[in-house]
Structure 1
Amino acid sequence: MRKKIEMCMLLEEAKTACEESLKDNSYILYYDRYIKLLNKINSIKEAVMDDKLYTEISDLSIIKMIIENDPKELIDSVIKVNLYYRDNFSTVFS
């Protein structure tokens, strides 16, 4: 249960960073991608809450959705989520 709560907190942090990026006009070029990323973050959080997170993959798909031009807060939060997943949920590394 603790892992589930921690994962949800990290996903919430990533969600907030993504929402902040959506509000920042300097990242307007990436608006559609941020909407997709936000939807994916919400889907992952829902899967965690419903105990339906697919754990047989090595990385979450959100890690592939960030690029070097994204805000540092967004990049860092998505990386944190992915690392937590790899360390605590993924069975590939078990």
Structure 2
Amino acid sequence: MEARHLFPGEVSAALRQYRQFLAQPGRWRYVPNRDCPCCDVRTSRDTLDEALRALPPPARAELGRMVAALDAELLRRTLPAPWSPRISPWHGSRPWWWHRLPHG
């Protein structure tokens, strides 16, 4: 994945959206459909992944601890999408969070 410039506040907004998604009640969560990219937790997780690759080691470690805890919760509260292709002709290889069961 090609690195892009992250704008001020983009990482904190992605972290907030990830937390809000997981703070919703209920045992199971379904990731939103792709028709709403601005509210898709997977897009937020992509932003956090970009930040983790771009940050210097001390900041990367701090953000990494927060993201790891949220990732564990996402894995616990979502189901894998068995039909989700690991490699897409349109998107190439997608990270694990793109292979969780979507809503609908």
Same fold (TM over 0.5): no
Between Structure 1 and Structure 2, whose CA radius of gyration is higher?
Answer: 2
Q: Which has the higher helix share?
A: 1
RCO (CA 8 Å, sep 6+): is it higher in 1 or 2? 1
- The TM-score, its normalising length taken from structure 1, stands at 0.43
